[in-house]
A and B are shown apart, each in its own frame.
Chain A
Amino acid sequence: MDPILSALAILAGILVFLVSGIWIYASLILVAVLSLMFIGDMNFGRVTDIFGSITLRSSGSWELSAIPLFVWMGELILLTDISSRIFRGLAPLVRRLPGGLVHSNVFGCTLFSAICGSSAATTATVGKITITELRKNSYHDSLILGSLAGSGSLGLLIPPSIVMIVYGVLAEVPVDRLFAAGVLPGLLLGFLFSLYIGANSLIRGGRSTQAAPLETVSEDRAGYTLFNSLLDLLPIAIIIGIVLGSIYTGVATPSEAAAIGTLSVLVLTVVTGAMNWSVFHKSLMSALYTSTMIFAVVVAASLISTALGYLHIPINLANMIVESNLTPGQFILIISVFFIFLGMILDGISIVVMSLPILFPIVTAMGIDPIWFGIYLVIMVELGQITPPVGFNLMIIHGMSGAPISKVAVYALPFCGLMCLGVLILYMAPAIVLYLPQYLFG
Chain B
Amino acid sequence: MADPRRSPIGMLDAAVTRVSRWFGYLAAALIVYVLCHILVEVTLRNVFSTSTFVLDEYVGYALAGIIFLSLAATHQAGHHIRVRLVSNTVQGRGKDAAELIANIAALVVCIMLFVSLYGIFDRNLRFGITSAGMSRTPLWIPQIAVVVGIAWYCVRLATNALVCVEALVLGPNREREPA
Contact = CB atoms under 8 A, between A and B. Distances in A.
A203 B55 CA distance: 54
Interface residues on B, range: 35 or more
B141 interface: no
Given A17-B105, A21-B98, A292-B67, A52 B113 contact: yes
A73 to B, nearest CB: 10
A296 to B, nearest CB: 6
B148 interface: no
B67 A59 contact: yes
Main DSSP-derived SS at the A contact region: helix
B120 A259 contact: no
A391 to B, nearest CB: 10
B162 interface: no
Given A21-B98, A23-B102, A33 B80 contact: no
Contact of B34 (A21, A68, A263, A292): A68
Contacts of B80: 23-25, 293, 296
Interface string A59-80: 1111011001100100000000
B109 interface: yes
A19 B83 contact: yes
B158 interface: no
Contacts of B46: 251
A247 to B, nearest CB: 11
Nearest to A296: B80
Contacts of B146: 56, 59
B31 to A, nearest CB: 5
A395 B81 CA distance: 7
Given A55-B116, A61-B60, A263 B102 contact: no
B24 A285 contact: yes
Nearest to A49: B116
Contacts of B60: 60-62, 65
Interface residues on A, range: 35 or more
Contact of B102 (A20, A33, A284, A404): A20
A288 B85 contact: no
A293 B109 contact: no
A251 B38 CA distance: 12
Contacts of A342: none
Interface in A216-259: 246, 251-252, 256, 259
B42 A20 contact: no
B112 A48 contact: yes
B9 interface: no
Contacts of B82: 18, 21-24
Contacts of B117: 52, 55-56
Contacts of B79: 289-290, 292-293
Interface in A1-37: 17-27, 29-30, 33
A65 B24 CA distance: 17
Contacts of B81: 23-24, 293, 297, 395, 399
Contact of A287 (B31, B39, B113, B119): B31
B116 A52 contact: yes
B134 interface: no
Contacts of A389: 83
Contact of A65 (B59, B101, B110, B112): B59
A56 B117 CA distance: 7
Interface in B21-74: 24, 27-28, 31-32, 34-35, 38-39, 41-42, 46, 55-56, 59-61, 63-64, 66-68, 70-71, 73-74
B88 to A, nearest CB: 8
B14 interface: no
B86 interface: yes
A405 interface: yes
A376 B111 CA distance: 40
B126 interface: no
A21 B120 contact: no
B106 A289 contact: no
Nearest to A405: B83
Contact of A288 (B24, B105, B112): B24
Contact of B85 (A19, A64, A69): A19
A51 B112 contact: yes
B27 A288 contact: yes
Contacts of B34: 65, 68-69, 259
Most buried by B among A17, A23, A60, A284: A60
Contacts of A399: 81
Given A19-B85, A296-B71, A285 B28 contact: yes
Contacts of A296: 67, 71, 74, 80
B106 A60 contact: no
A439 to B, nearest CB: 28
A49 B39 CA distance: 37
A292 B65 CA distance: 10
Given A26-B109, A55-B116, A293 B74 contact: yes
B42 A289 contact: no
Nearest to B71: A292
Top 4 nearest A-B pairs by Cβ distance? Answer: A52-B116, A259-B38, A62-B56, A60-B64
